[in-house]
Structure formats: C-alpha cells, structure tokens
Structure 1
Amino acid sequence: ASKEGELSALYRMKGLKEILKSRTGLFRRLLGKKAPTEKAWKAYSDTVFRCTLCGNCQEVCPVGIRLKELWLSLRQDLVHSRFFPEKIDMIRDNLEESHNVFAEDNEERADWVEDMRDAPDHGFLKDQAEVVYFTGCVASYFPLAQKIPMAFAEILEASKVDFTLLGEEEWCCGFPLLGAGLKEMLHVFVEHNVDAVREKGATRVILACPSCYQMWREHYPPEVEISHASQFLIELVKKDQVPLRDLELTVTYHDPCDLGRGARVFDEPRALIRAISGVRLVELPRNREMCRCCGGGGNLEMIDPKLSLEITKEKIDEVLSTGAQAVITSCQQCVRAMTTYVRRNKIPLEVLDITELLQRALKR
C-alpha cells in the first residue's frame, strides 16, 4: 500500500518481526521451555490475516520468494491450530450452508437479470450453450457490483454470443475458502462447479471476477477453456462483433491484483480502452505489476475494515493525481471498494468496470 504508516508492507512485516523476535514472542516460546501464550498466538494470527493478498511484496522480494503462497499457507496452518479471527467461522458457515460467501439465497444468484433492460424470457438460463458466464458471488448479490454482469450480458447479446448462466447451480469459486485458510473444503465447490458446466455442454467459461478467474486457472481441472472477460471481449472486438461508437472521456486504469500481478493480464484491458475512439488513457504513476491494491481483497474487509478503507483512500488519491474523469478496472471487488469510498466522500470521480465502459460505447 503506502510507503509509510500502517498501510505499508514494511509496517506489516515490522509488526510481524516484533511479534516473532520479542522476549515473549512466538518463536522464543516455540523453541523454549514455555509454550506460546494465547495472546502471542492471537497477535500473530491477526497480523497474518490483516493482508489483502495483493502480491506486491513478492514483486519486490530480492530473492524471489513466492510470498502470497506463504501467507496462504500460514493462514491454513493457523486455522488447523484453531488460532484465527472469529470472522473465519462466519465464512466457513456461510459457504457450507448457502454456497456463497454472503449467506444469501443461492436460488437468487441470477436475479440481477430481472433489472436488465430488455432481458430475454429465458433469463440467460439455457439448457445448453457454447459459453458459460460464471458470475461470482460479489457480482451476483451486491447492487453496486450487479451492473457488471448486466453490462457484460448486454455486450454478449449484442455480439451474438451463445452463452448461459449457471443460476443457482453456480456455487462460490472457492477463493474465500483459500483466503481464509480453509483449503480442505475447496474440492467440494470445485467438483460441483465443474459438473454444472459439464451439464451445459460448454467449451469455454468466462469470468469477469479476477479471483474466480485465478481459481479456475489454478485449482480447477483443465476441461474447458478459461478466459477473463477482458480477454474474451478483445477477441470479439478484433472480430468486429462488438458494435462500438465514439466516447469522449479521459480515464486511468487500475490493474486488479489477481488479474494483473496474479495472472499477468495487463494488455487486454488497455487494448479494450484504446479500441473506443475518443477515450484517452492516462496511466497511474504505479501501474501494471506495481499497481497499488484497492484494499478490497484477501478477506481484509471482514477482518479489518478500517485498514481496508485506508488503503482505498491511498488508491483514490493516486487516481485523482492523474486528472482522469473516470477510473476503469476489471474487477467487481475493486469497483465496489473504490465506489464506496468515492460516494462516501463525495468525490467527483466515476468508477467503472471495463465491461461498463464497453457497454457505454455500444451502438444501439
């Protein structure tokens, strides 16, 4: 996050070092005669879970340690040791009971379609289709994020793509489980989602959520082609399947952590922005693999909402320094975090997903 104060990776690591190296710290207790106190374990656990899992630390690590994997492994070990924040139990219970991280009715996953302009009678729920659009939990249930699947579905319709949603048969991709150290539960969600896609006869799964995209790429069997929405859309644009008009807008682009640092998808979103005549792209001071986190990842909002909000402030301050009228991103959680901050502080800045920008440029 920032270079100073409690937003920085340096501060977090310093805090961790103090916990481990102090006279009553965890390592001294583990290697000594006295067992670690519950207070020591709690302080250590809180530090490990107070992280967005943005991956910036491993970009700058001088010896190339895969630090994100280390943080995830630490969380898993702490859960097995029964030292973790109370909110982790809530994540587990919600996913076990509702198959989504928010404990919402999973039958309502595709209810956002009802709010679309000219939605088809089938509600994008087909028995068979070439493409499955996997919506994700945040975009399915949060009103701030539901405009993303609405925009994407409208673009797919305008581009004559044969696609379907999974509706209530879509379960959480499993990323919140991984981030919460609950990896042992992951296989149930993976197997269910793979079976649901198989039932549709689809050859491709499209995901607008970077976390869902990364999960399908790294933790699901390679049965079908996996693409992020930006990758799929630039294919359609290059084939002249997306009817676009001119827009007059100056924008900057925020690289989502899981899509950028995690999956190295940097060029496709920028190519989409440049494909719209009249849209001017101004890069952030820190961009691509060095882009600042928005503060919305790694379950941090649930664990430490104050820190999450402070990281978002740093992000918005950087965006405003570019003079852009809008910040574009390719992640529903980034949209939600930045929009919430902008609205709360009455900042005259638009926050748009890349799908919303293309929707705005559609010829109708």
Structure 2
Amino acid sequence: MRFPLLEKHGLQNMPFTCAQCSFCQVGHGSCPTYKVKRLDSYSGKGKMIIARALMQGRLKPSEGLEGLRDGIFGCTLCGGCEEVCQVDIPFVKLYQLMRAEFYRRGLWPKNLEAARDTLLKTSNIQGQAQTDRIDGWSYWHPDEDSLQRSVGRKAKTAFFFGCSSSYKAVPIQATIATTLVMDRIGEEYTVLGQDEWCCGAPMIMTGDFATAKTLAEHNIEMYKQLGVERVITNCPGCYRMWAHEYHELLDIEHPFEVEYGAAYLARLCDSGKLNNLQTPLDITVTFHDPCDAGRNEGFFEEPRKVLENLPGVTLEELPHNRNNCFCCGSGGVLRAFDNEFALNINKLKLKDIEQTQAQWVISACPSCV
C-alpha cells in the first residue's frame, strides 16, 4: 500500500525511520493521547508500526486502516512526540498528511464531515452567523464606534480575530483588549468583520486541504483589497496558517508579514509603550503554553515577558511547562472527532494546574481557553 501524499513531501521513509524506542510513550511531557488510551496505536511508535506494515503489505488495508485511522485522528497534534523523538521524525506534518490520505480515500470520519459542512455553510468553525462576529466584538468593546471605524478600512496592518476570538466570551475579551492597546498607542489597523472567514487551520489539521485553500484564498484577497502588509493575530493556529501554511497550500510567496499577538505585545513591552497602560494587580497566575505557540512555533518567552511587565502579577510555573507542557486536549480538532476523549486529556492538564497555588490560569491561545 502506498501513501502518495507522503511521497510528494518526501516523507515516505519516516515510518521506517522510527527506532521503536518508546520515548514518545514514556518521555517527560510526551503523548497525552497515549497517556489516556494506553494503546500503542495512539502513540507515535504505534502509528509508525501500523503504517510500516501497511506499506510493506504485511497488513491488508481492511485489517490496518481502521486502527491507524483512530490513532491518526485521535491525536491533538501537540508535538510532544517530536520533543522526545530520538530520530527527529516530523510527526505533526506526517499526521496531517496521513489524515489527508484518509480524506482522499473517502475514509474521513463522519463527525469531521459534519464539522466541515458547518464551516462551509457559515464560513467559521463555530457554526455561528457571520454577522455575530461584529455583535460579539461590540458587546465587549467600550467604544463601539471606534471598532466599527476599523472594519473594512484601508490600512497596512490587519488584526485577524479568528473564529474562537469572535464567538467565545473569554477569547473575545482578550482580543478586544489587544485592539484597545493598539488604539492607545496609535496603531492604525483594519479588521474584516463579517468578511473574515475561518483561517482554514481546522481543515489543514484534519486533511481537507481543498476547503482550507478556499478559505485562504478569500482571506488573502480581502486583505489585498485593503492594502494590508502585516497581519497580527492572537490565535496560534491562525498564526501558523498565515505564517506558514498559506505559502505551501497556495504555492505562493508570503504575501504579508505575520506577527503573533503575544510577540507583538512583548515587543511593545521592550519599547516601553505599555508602561502607562497597566493597572496594578495583586494576583498569582500560572501559564499554560499552547502547543501551537510553544512547541510548534517556539513562542515561550514572549507571553511570559508580558506577564512579567504587569505590576502585581506573580508567575508560578506549572510542573510541566514550556517544551514539556501538557496539551489541554483541544488541539488537532480532537473535540470534533471525540469530545469525551479530549475532555479526558484535559483532566491531565487540570491535575498539573492543581499542583500550583495560582489563582488564575493564563494562556495565549483562544482554543485552549
């Protein structure tokens, strides 16, 4: 059996590279799905063994594909396996391509089809009306007129909200706070409002590259019409799409400079522009490193710099932090595939948090929140 998409990206030998050392199962901060399921097929090693057997013909598709599919889609794409892999297998990229193989063969999970159909109908993964994007922002914004003026205006900088930060209360507040900072320092920016579509990350992560391409083309065209040169977003998944995936998906040069929201705020801290915007607090917090922002993109210190610059805020690190941080369970569109499984992974995260004395848990990802 062949996996043409692996061959296209030069990764067809990766299943044979695996040393079966089991570090991805027992390494510090490693695979959360294996920690919950305790089945080899949910670990990096197990998935490589099944893929290898299929490619060698030792397993018939009817015998091995179902087990491989459950393991491939029952994954948060957190990258914990990559952190401990002794032979540097790019598991996250490999799993995305293998998910695309299942999609190509008509073996996509039914519940993911439902999520995709909702996205195509509403242009967002939350399944909400596009007009509700602006309604949600306006509810939390202290100056609705200021927000409305930024919608669809020409500007060199664009702020991309993302789906979670448009429809979920806590991420909306965090994102509105970022735009208020931009207003206070005189940063001119534009937002798309109801013309903003999902960045496509859920479809890239689950293997439907065609739908992701449609979404990407729309967002890029909208920004080109507004003269945008730089995109800022608080969502690590959206950041990864704009910074990396659009380039490969559409086979184009990077059309925009892209900046992650936490990195943007950290840069403002360095410049001193945030010094007069801070309200003193008296609180102990802990920080959850989002997988996409941390392990997969390397943004570990930027959010911590922002917290350190807030007067009266004490940061107590989680037992597992930075590269070893436990996934929250929300990654890889796992909630759409198996919500109960995702919640069981989240319980591991909660146990880690309970070992601190923190009053608040802070994260820099709307999906984690």
Quickly name the TM-score band, shorter chain normalised. Answer: 0.7 to 0.9
2:272 maps to 240
1:322, distance to aligned residue in structure 2 (A): 1.6
**1:63 aligned residue:** 87
CA contact (8 A) 1:45 1:78 kept: yes
Stretch deviating more after TM superposition (123-132 or 285-294): 123-132
Select the residue among 186, 196, 200 that pairs with 2:212: 186
User: Which of residues 105, 115, 122 is equivalent to 1:98?
Assistant: 122
**2:104 is equivalent to residue 80 of structure 1:** yes
For the 8 Å contact 2:155–2:190, the answer to whether it is kept is yes
Measured in 2, the distance between the counterparts of 1:19 and 1:278 equals: 47
Alpha carbons 1:7, 1:307 under 8 Å: kept: no
Amino acid at match of 1:252: T
Deviations 1:278-317 (A, max 9, x none): 2111111211111110111111111111111111111121
How far off its partner does 1:228 sit? 0.7
Aligned to 2:344: 310
Gap regions ≥5 residues in structure 2: 1-24, 247-252
The residue that corresponds to 1:133 in the other structure is: 159
Partner amino acid, structure 1, of 2:79: G
Distance, in Å, in 1 between the alignment partners of 2:32 and 2:159 is 41
* Counterpart-to-counterpart distance in 1, 2:195 and 2:314: 40
Which residue pairs with 2:174 in the alignment?
148
* Counterpart check, 1:261 vs 2:288: no
Q: Corresponding residue for 2:143?
A: 118
* SS across alignment from 2:294: helix
Answer whether contact 1:247 1:278 (CA < 8 A) is retained: yes
Q: How far did 1:328 drift? A: 1.1
* Runs (5+) with no aligned partner, structure 1: 336-364
How far 1:252 moved relative to its partner? 1.3
The C-alpha deviation readout for 1:47-66, integer Å capped at 9, x for no partner, is 21000000010110001111
**Letter paired with 1:282:** E
Whether the 8 Å contact between 2:157 and 2:230 is mirrored in structure 1 is yes
Alignment partner of 1:290 is 2:324: yes
Greater displacement, 291-300 / 88-97: 88-97
Partner of 1:275: 309
208-217 vs 90-99, which moves further: 90-99
Displacement of 1:36 in angstroms is 3.4
Q: How many residues align?
A: 331
* Superposed displacement of residue 109, structure 1: 2.2
Alpha-carbon shift at residue 98 of structure 1 (Å): 2.1
The answer as to 2:201 corresponding to 1:175 is yes
- Which segment drifts farther, 99-108 or 324-333? 99-108
Tell me: CA distance 1:29–1:175, structure 2 relative to 1, closer, same or farther (3 Å). closer
CA RMSD, 1 decimal: 2.7
Q: 1:293 to 1:18 in 2, by over 3 A?
A: closer
Q: Which deviates the most, 179-188 or 250-259? A: 179-188
For 1:196, the aligned partner's letter is M
Which amino acid in the other structure matches residue 226 of structure 1? V
How far apart are 1:204 and its partner, in Å? 1.4
Deviation at 1:82, TM superposition (A): 1.4
* CA pair 309-10 structure 1, distance change in 2 beyond 3 A: closer
Indicate the residue corresponding to 1:358 in structure 2: none
Contact 2:99–2:207 (8 Å) recurs in 1 = yes
Q: Do residues 212 (structure 1) and 238 (structure 2) align?
A: yes
Q: TM-score, normalised by structure 1?
A: 0.83
Instruction: Give the corresponding residue for 1:225.
Output: 257
Per the TM alignment, residue 70 of structure 1 is displaced from its structure 2 partner at its CA by 1.1
Q: Kindly provide the amino acid, as one letter, of the partner of residue 329 in structure 1.
A: S
- SS state at 2:38 partner: helix
Instruction: State which drifts further: 214-223 or 264-273.
Output: 214-223
- Which residue is 2:12 aligned to? none
State the distance in 2 between where 1:251 and 1:318 align.
14
Q: What is the percent sequence identity of the aligned residues?
A: 31
Provide the secondary structure at the position in 1 that maps to 2:126: coil
CA contact (8 A) 2:280 2:312 kept: yes
CA distance in 1, matches of 2:135, 2:124: 15
| 8 Å CA contact retained: 1:91, 1:177 | no
Q: Structure 1 residues 5, 50: closer, same or farther in 2, change over 3 A?
A: closer
Name the SS of the counterpart of 2:121 in structure 1: helix
Report the alpha carbon displacement of residue 4 of structure 1 after superposing the two structures with TM. Answer: 9.9
Shift in Å at residue 10 of structure 1? 8.7
Q: 2:11 is matched with which residue?
A: none
Alignment of 1:345-356 (within 5 A): none
Q: Distance in 2 between matches of 1:266 and 1:26?
A: 35
Query: One-letter code of the match for 1:158?
Result: R
Task: Check if 1:322 corresponds to 2:356.
Answer: yes
Determine if contact 1:230/1:272 at 8 Å carries over to the other structure: yes
- Offset, 1:318: 0.8
The CA distance in 2 between the partners of 1:256 and 1:29, in whole Å, is: 34
